[in-house]
Structure 1
Amino acid sequence: MIRIAIANQKGGVGKTTSAINLATAFAAAGWRTLLIDLDPQGNASTGVGVPASAREYSTYDLLLGEATLAECAMETSIPGLHLLAATVDLSGAEVELVSVDGRTDKLRKGLARGSERYDICFIDCPPSLGLLTLNALSAADTVLVPLQCEFFALEGLSQLLQTVERVQQRFNADLGIIGIALTMFDRRNRLTDQVSDDVRSCLGKLVFDTEIPRNVRLSEAPSHGMPALIYDQHCSGSRAYLALARELISRLPENRKAA
């Protein structure tokens, strides 16, 4: 199972929207896909139509070793997509894990058994660089960074890259960054183009060619419990995520499953 953490310590940059729609795109392409909601807010779970009342087990149970991946993963209404949901219990996990040995390795151990059922998983990280995100980075093969096209974006990106480097040194030497996706792109705003140019000049081919636009349908879809790809597959946001999924597949190791 390929493990991709979708991370940025800044909130509101499109992490959950990216996780939901990329997972949906891969499932539609025939990949056996797992979406892991590691954010206590549980927005990724709601965004694929799984209400809080339907979440018997959660990522909290997996992290604390109280349930297996097979018990925690649940089917969604999207064919080929399973969900490891988040519940409010997850908000207390960081406190409970502080005094536990190997506290940054709990997710990796939880995924060790049963992951052969899936080809790929997307881990939706919380907007922080705490223990939950460290667990995701320790368990992941690679990181996808959604980056909002705004003035403070580069400052936050620098901090995240430093964190990834520390995780490589201490917990997960094989961790890489598969790419940076520019989100909330607005051609009408000159600052958007300036930030895009700055990011691309600094990081080159690490930045995906695809840019995710500001799009009303992307914002509306979660309130209907649907990924935008299902809510309105023809809107500009959905088309952009399909293009991003194709680009992401092209960056995966050649010996992995091809769509």
Structure 2
Amino acid sequence: MQVLSVISTKGGVGKTTVAANLGAFMADAGLSVLLIDLDIQPTLSSYYKLRHVATSGIYELISTNETRLEYLVSHTTINNLHLIFSNDDKGQLNTLLLHAPDGRFRLKNLMAIFEPYYDVVIIDTQGARSILLEMAIVASTHLLSPITPEVLAAREFKRGTLQLIEDIQPLKHLGISIPIINMLINRVPSVSNNAKLIKTMLETLFQHDSNLCLPQTYIPAIEAYTKSPILAEPELKTFPQGNEAPRKMLRLNVRFDNPVPSKEGYEDRGGFWAEVELWHQDAEDWNKLYQKGMRVLVQGRMTYQEWDDKTTGEKRSAFKIEARDVGILPYRVLSVALEQKADKSQETAPPMEEPD
């Protein structure tokens, strides 16, 4: 069984997202994966929908040495992906472990209960130096540390994460093997020269550190797909709900372009089609607003669906976006008319003051 901790003494570098995605990818590849949320902010615990919620979590595992998996392990809706959720919202485990003789070694000693059932254990940690973080490192066979291509992030990585690894090296005298850190450069913008320069600087700065490994892999920043045209007339659907008001859904067929700056202006690097579903009680009114040819900015959650074609029986798949908002961009829009509210029609904005 492999144990991977995603660590950093700096918050906001993407540890939880990396841990959640790695777990899902490995589970999808057929491995049996257990996620452990050691962060007092239980973001990983709510990342995936659970089909079975255990009665206990990380607090019971660490504080009482609970070893019954039926009480500890929750099951996500993804096959082969399980979770021990964080329920130490008051941060009591840090104090408990500081006063326990086996504090830094407790999780390592408990790992044997998972070995018959899991191929990989992935531990998400808090973005600050603590005994919980040291305990996760001691229990691990592999360490992964995301770092963003920023000067301050590089300084904190050297001063915080690498210094922590250096400080716990004496544990080797007790037979504890401290794994080297795999540094993962995260959120690298595709068009930022500064970010690329810092990425190169990080690779040069740390290439000879004996506690560090520099994989060739890096994670690009999320690119927003803007100026996306609606390429078919919107479709309004209504779903009856018995005695309750029917649910309304507006479906838009949108082409998400991916324009990248070039010497000639912008170059299309490809994109994708997706159905955008907007569920709202005002969907019938909005159906009159959105038109074929409009460019929109979509915010929402993308899902990937597979189904069997009813006619041919073949496997089909497509992306779908469950939208929170669909904003209209001003391209090709000739005029805008707003509905006046009776009690607000006379209100005007205060005059702007001229600077001295």
- TM-score interval for Structure 1 and Structure 2 normalised by the shorter chain: 0.7 to 0.9
Q: 1:177 to 1:50 in 2, by over 3 A?
A: farther
TM-score, length of structure 1 as denominator length? 0.78
Say which SS state the counterpart of residue 3 (structure 1) adopts.
strand
- Contact 2:183–2:215 (Cα < 8 Å) also in 1: yes
Question: What are the Cα deviations for residues 64-83 of structure 1, in whole angstroms up to 9, with x where unaligned?
Answer: 12421613122111111111
TM-score, length of structure 2 as denominator length? 0.58
Deviation at 1:120, TM superposition (A): 0.8
Deviation at 1:21, TM superposition (A): 0.1
Displaced runs of 4+ in structure 1, greater than 6 A?
none
The structure in which a higher percent of residues are strand is: 2
Counterpart Cα distance in 1 of 2:20 and 2:223: 16
Does residue 68 of the first structure (1) align with residue 67 of the second (2)? Answer: yes
Question: What are the Cα deviations for residues 94-119 of structure 1, in whole angstroms up to 9, with x where unaligned?
Answer: 12222111111111122222322111
Question: What are the Cα deviations for residues 12-60 of structure 1, in whole angstroms up to 9, with x where unaligned?
Answer: 1010000000011111111111111100111011112249x94521111
Matches within 5 A, 1:45-194: 45-50=45-50, 54=53, 56-68=55-67, 70=69, 71-89=71-89, 91-158=91-158, 159-170=160-171, 173-194=176-197
The structure in which a higher percent of residues are helix is: 1
Say which SS state the counterpart of residue 103 (structure 2) adopts.
coil
Counterpart Cα distance in 2 of 1:63 and 1:151: 36
AA aligned to 2:199 is S
AA aligned to 2:91 is S
Count of residues in correspondence between the two structures? 223
- Contact 1:38–1:59 (Cα < 8 Å) also in 2: yes
Q: 1:165 to 1:127 in 2, by over 3 A?
A: same
Counterpart Cα distance in 2 of 1:110 and 1:196: 38
Which structure ranks higher in relative contact order (CA pairs < 8 Å, sequence separation ≥ 6)? 1
Deviation at 1:182, TM superposition (A): 0.8
Counterpart Cα distance in 2 of 1:69 and 1:180: 34
Does residue 211 of the first structure (1) align with residue 218 of the second (2)? Answer: yes
Question: What are the Cα deviations for residues 120-153 of structure 1, in whole angstroms up to 9, with x where unaligned?
Answer: 1111010111011011011111210101111112
AA aligned to 2:219 is I
Counterpart Cα distance in 2 of 1:194 and 1:156: 18
Q: 1:82 to 1:54 in 2, by over 3 A?
A: closer
Alignment partner, residue 201 of structure 2? 198
